[in-house]
Amino acid sequence: MKNCKAFGICLLYSATMAANPVSGAGAEPKKMVVAVPVADLRRQPAPGQNNRRQDMNQETQLLYGEKVIAYEEKGGWIRVEAIEQEQFKKTKKWGPYPGWIKKEFLREVAEFPRTNAVVAEGYAGVMSEPSPRAKVLVRVSLGTRLAASPDAGKFPQWIRVELAYGSQGWIDKRQVRLDDETQSADQIRNSIIEKAKFFLKAKAPYFWGGRSFYDETSESQRTSVDCSGLVHLAYGIGGVRVPRDAHEQFLKSEKIRANDLKTGDLIFLALRKNPKEVSHVMIYQGNGMVIEAASAESGVKESAFKDRLGVPLESIKGDTLETKSWIVTFGTYLKER
């Protein structure tokens, strides 16, 4: 790990995070968790370039503490299934996202931790003591799920959390959302937009296969989001589970008419030349505006629906818009909330 300083990582786990690794194709599957702030999941066991250009070997990213089932080791890589990211296309059935992660980024566990909180800020420090002046043990991305023990005793502003290498740390209560916090439907919808706009404010670039908050200081690990990674993180913080990729997000959404769109709902785009494959997703902000991780040229941006697709949203009478380039449909995960 060449630039751990950029992520504020305590390295005491670096020598032990791969204890008892999976040894070969016939080995017993093992439970493991990610022991670094962000780890790339690769289609094949090979690293990518340290840039954000389209890399078809880049599948997705896993965050600190994320759970995987490990199957085999090959040349310093572990073949895994990322059980917190649902997909269909890779295996032709609904299930965990498959791929390869560097062995040094994983740690074996006897049982998966029961997570009950999610990081709701860009990056949050897990501290050695309940104090902002304490040592930073690890710096975790927005969307990271944690096993937390809220304690209203001596330190009401702090929450104790379990760490991937077996010890504990503390995180500022204001930087997380606990799963048992009640949210109204409107609060969830507004939260989705608020978290998506964090990326806008950070001037986050587009990153194919990205699913992490943008850290411009990191030199060793690429960070940021693609279109569906933005959706996956923004929805997850609100407690709404969606599949990882755009086409699968389309498949599991409830289809709606354009005039039924509400804040936080999704707009799906399929190329006219490949109309059965959704290749892009945008989040509807309300008032005719959308936010999206658009492209390598523009990164995360917001724009008027009319400017983006050529027609006013209110002029669409049904559930589909056809433009010169796109087939556009609309979906929600929030109708019953």
Domain regions of the chain by residue span? 10-108, 117-178, 185-332
- What pLDDT score was predicted for residue 235? 98
> Which amino acid does the sequence have at 237?
I
Distance CA 141, CA 75 (A): 28
Pick the CATH number of 117-178 from 2.30.30.40, 3.40.190.10, 3.40.50.970, 1.20.58.220: 2.30.30.40
- What pLDDT score was predicted for residue 5? 35
Residue 208: name the closest of 5, 98, 43, 324 by CA.
Answer: 43
> Which amino acid does the sequence have at 284?
Y
Rounded percentage of the chain residues whose pLDDT exceeds 90: 83
Architecture of the domain whose range is 185-332: Alpha-Beta Complex (3.90)
- What pLDDT score was predicted for residue 48? 86
Mean local confidence (pLDDT), 276-290: 98
C-beta of residue 60 within 8 angstroms of C-beta of residue 43: no
- What pLDDT score was predicted for residue 150? 77
Confidence of residue 96 (pLDDT cuts 50, 70, 90): very high
Distance CA 120, CA 122 (A): 7
Q: Provide the residue count of the chain.
A: 337
Question: pLDDT per residue over 108-149, tens digit each?
Answer: 999 999 999 999 999 999 999 999 999 999 999 999 999 998
Question: pLDDT per residue over 223-239, tens digit each?
Answer: 999 999 999 999 999 99
Confidence of residue 219 (pLDDT cuts 50, 70, 90): confident
- What pLDDT score was predicted for residue 6? 39
- What pLDDT score was predicted for residue 322? 97
- What pLDDT score was predicted for residue 27? 74
C-beta of residue 320 within 8 angstroms of C-beta of residue 329: yes
Question: pLDDT per residue over 239-268, tens digit each?
Answer: 999 999 999 999 999 999 999 999 999 999
C-beta of residue 68 within 8 angstroms of C-beta of residue 33: yes
Q: For domain 10-108, say whether CATH 2.30.30.40 is its number.
A: yes
Q: What is the mean pLDDT of the chain?
A: 91
117-178 has the same fold as 10-108:
yes
C-beta of residue 315 within 8 angstroms of C-beta of residue 240: no
Question: pLDDT per residue over 5-48, tens digit each?
Answer: 334 443 333 333 344 456 655 679 999 999 999 999 999 999 98
Confidence of residue 166 (pLDDT cuts 50, 70, 90): confident
- What pLDDT score was predicted for residue 90? 87
C-beta of residue 134 within 8 angstroms of C-beta of residue 128: yes
- What pLDDT score was predicted for residue 52? 65
